[in-house]
């Protein structure tokens, strides 16, 4: 009897050891599921979103043609510009200039931001698109013109009034056409980057009238903001909307040209 009990115990011990070994072998992470990127619960993991097209930013103070600065920021003390202080110029960079006109001071400020997504499932470009859409919504920008309408409008444009034919950007390439329209309503622009809008705001303040023109556009994962502002100390004279709009759009076009190199 004792011998039989001993044999039974030995058989049970051997069976348990074999089962344990089989269990360890089955969960060792070398099966097809692990090779295919499946998670522990059998679901396939999502690949990380691709990085953005742009990994660095152009140097903003040197991105504009001298003629553009002299025309739209007249009588500036220093056309070299004043760089915006940032902690990482590959993520955010800017520059500003101050000039003077008969009405009062004029200011140009440009800002470039390389958007980086911190969600591995969201690409840098998708995050930049969402950021741009939020800014457009905050400025109450209506929907962009349909592509067919934009093409028809572009074909009807002969060139920017008041500018010389064959003008060039800072890189030496022909400047894109920029047409003054006289329209002060916030609106989308169809000929700039992957999405763009213009906002024209006139403020009546104690010290005079102040007009702010902002052009914001996106190129892949980079957001660019151009602000051209004009004071008028005489409240009977509004700062010129058409000239400021044309200047802001020209600056934006040159920055887009720099990014596209």
Question: Model-level pTM?
Answer: 0.71
Which residues, at least 6 apart from 176, have a Cβ–Cβ distance to it below 8 Å?
Answer: 191, 192, 253, 256, 257
Angle 73-253-209 (CA atoms, 0-180°, nearest 5)?
40
Would you write out the chain's pLDDT as a tens digit for each of its 261 residues?
A: 444 454 444 544 554 444 444 444 444 444 444 334 455 555 666 778 888 889 899 999 999 999 999 999 999 999 999 999 988 988 999 999 999 999 999 999 999 999 999 988 999 999 999 999 999 999 999 875 433 343 333 333 333 333 333 344 433 434 444 555 678 999 999 989 999 999 999 999 888 999 999 999 999 999 999 999 999 989 999 999 999 999 999 999 999 999 987
What is the spatial distance between Cα 67 and Cα 167, in angstroms, rounded to a whole number?
9
Q: Would you kindly state where each structural domain of the chain is located, as residue ranges?
A: 2-35, 60-158+167-259
Q: Are 98 and 105 in contact (CB under 8 A)?
A: yes
Phi first, then psi, for residue 82 (nearest 5°) are: -115, 115
3-state secondary structure of 130: helix
Burial of 208 (0-12, 13-18, 19+ CB in 10 A): middle
């Amino acid at each position: 009897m004792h011998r039989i009990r001993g044999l039974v115990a030995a058989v049970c011990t051997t069976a348990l050891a074999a089962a344990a070994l089989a269990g360890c072998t089955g969960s060792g992470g070398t099966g097809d599921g692990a090779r295919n990127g499946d998670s522990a619960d059998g679901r396939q993991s999502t690949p990380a979103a691709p990085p953005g097209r742009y990994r660095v930013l152009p140097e903003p103070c040197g991105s504009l043609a001298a003629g553009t600065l002299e025309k739209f920021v007249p009588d500036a003390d220093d056309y070299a510009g004043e760089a915006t202080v940032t902690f990482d110029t590959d993520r955010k960079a800017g520059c500003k200039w101050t000039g003077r006109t008969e009405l009062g001071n004029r200011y140009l400020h440009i800002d470039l931001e390389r958007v980086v997504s911190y969600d591995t499932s969201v690409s840098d470009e998708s995050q930049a698109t969402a950021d741009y859409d939020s800014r457009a919504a905050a400025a109450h920008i209506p929907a962009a013109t349909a592509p067919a309408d934009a093409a028809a409008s572009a074909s009807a444009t002969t060139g920017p009034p008041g500018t010389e034919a064959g003008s060039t950007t800072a890189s030496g390439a022909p400047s894109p056409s920029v047409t003054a329209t006289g329209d002060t309503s916030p609106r989308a622009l169809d000929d700039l980057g992957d999405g763009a809008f213009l906002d024209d705001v006139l403020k009546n303040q104690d010290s005079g009238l102040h007009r702010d023109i902002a052009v914001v556009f996106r190129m892949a994962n980079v957001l660019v903001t151009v602000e051209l502002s004009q004071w008028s100390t005489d409240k009977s004279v509004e700062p010129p909307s058409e000239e400021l709009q044309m200047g802001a759009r020209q600056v934006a076009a040159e920055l887009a040209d720099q990014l596209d190199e």
